Amino acid sequence: MATRRNVLAVVALALATVVSGAAPAVAGADTDTLRAAARGSGVRIGTAVDMSALASDADYRAIVASQFDSVTAENVMKWEAIEPERGRYDWAAADRLVDFARANGQVVRGHTLVWHNQNPAWLTEDAFTPAELRQILRDHIKTQVRHFKGRVYQWDVVNEVFNDDGTLRDTIWLRALGPGYIADAFRWAHEADPKAKLYLNDYNNEGVNAKSDAYYALAKQLRSQGVPIHGYGMQGHLGVQYGFPGTVFDNVRRFDALGVQTAFTEVDVRMILPVDPTKEQAQAYGFSTLLQACLLARHCVSYTVWGFTDRYSWVPGVFEGQGSATPYTESLQPKPAYQAIRNTFLLAR
């Protein structure tokens, strides 16, 4: 059984291997897939899943099933998809993902219960009183978590609630309910499924900075108040043109010390197009460096990529002139980033 201890010893080797692309040989083990390489590491390897691609693209479906042991709905568990009209819930697409995961021996990360984006118009356009909003939030969280009870093992309870400077983001929830809405959201989710692990989740919070300091302080405060918060999610949307945060392990380690789990929840590493070999190599390093921090940590439990192929990645649609952010090309060929993820797992054995 692999331990986290031997990881430190191999980091230098991992870096060399990532750069050279050579795969270490592991005798007698089936290590052809990311999923097999991750086995025994204590870290699950996940992907976001695009449900229309899963339905229409057999090659896509085969890779989700074979390469990953955790899945996250890219969109279909968000509020606008789950409760498009007040009190009318549409579980169909999300249930299809949960069924697919069960059939393939995978766990499901739930994403997300409270966010300022992708909310239905009825929620954001109607002027509700604070008391009504509180009731709406409570009903939504309880209904959704109860529906997936025992089938979704982790929830991103709140997503992106801080600004980069560490102040709370101005949202309908903060305005109407004050900062206490965060603790309430965790309590309601816990009541609905006491076994689910409940997460904070954000971007630009991978290294030590004002935003992750705010999360650390919040996690500490909530724990001391007995609020059921179990995990800290770092999305991991990186770009080769920005370089990579150098203090990721320091950050993860302080959550370890608090007894809070960590997870990399939405990793992708974009670049300014066109692709060239230097950018692809830097990208491989970016994917690997987050995974190394996870493998080095005591309580980092999963590493999820936000889509595994450029064929369906959200990046080109949102970041103009950028792309190639995932471990597989549009034609589903593995890139150096894929080999880097696999090698980093293998070297930690």
Name the residues that contact ligand XIL, by CB under 6 A. Answer: 74-75, 159, 235, 266, 314
Is residue 74 annotated as a catalytic residue, yes or no?
no
- C-beta closer to ligand XIL: residue 31 or 265: 265
Q: How far is the CB of 306 from ligand XIL (least distance, A)?
A: 6
Catalytic residue (one of 74, 83, 160, 280): 160
Residue number of the CB closest to ligand XIL reads 314
Pick from 252, 257, 342, 341: nearest CA to 297 = 252
- List C-alpha distances in Å: 118 to 81, 236, 263, 307: 8, 20, 23, 18
Q: How far is the CB of 190 from ligand XIL (least distance, A)?
A: 21
Cα Rg for the chain, rounded, in angstroms? 20
Q: How far is the CB of 65 from ligand XIL (least distance, A)?
A: 20
Q: How far is the CB of 235 from ligand XIL (least distance, A)?
A: 6
Give the DSSP letter string of 60-80: HHHHHHHH-SEEEESSTTSHH
Is residue 266 annotated as a catalytic residue, yes or no?
yes
Cα(117)–Cα(241) distance, integer angstroms: 26
- C-beta closer to ligand XIL: residue 264 or 314: 314
The residue written with tokens 């059984």 in the block is: 1
- List C-alpha distances in Å: 252 to 218, 229, 310: 15, 16, 28
**Taking CA 300 as the corner, what is the angle to CA 237 and CA 159, rounded to the nearest 5 degrees?**
45
- C-beta closer to ligand XIL: residue 308 or 345: 308
- C-beta closer to ligand XIL: residue 161 or 284: 161
Q: How far is the CB of 208 from ligand XIL (least distance, A)?
A: 21
Residue pair 156/111 in contact (Cβ under 8 Å)? The answer is yes
Cα(336)–Cα(172) distance, integer angstroms: 42
What do you get for the CA distance between the two ends of the chain, in Å?
A: 8
Catalytic residue (one of 266, 280, 320, 330): 266
- C-beta closer to ligand XIL: residue 266 or 310: 266
User: Backbone dihedral region of 243: left (phi > 0), alpha (psi from -120 to 50 degrees) or beta?
Assistant: left
- C-beta closer to ligand XIL: residue 276 or 330: 330
Q: How far is the CB of 32 from ligand XIL (least distance, A)?
A: 28
* Backbone CA torsion sign across 120, 124, 126, 130: positive
Active-site positions?
A: 160, 266
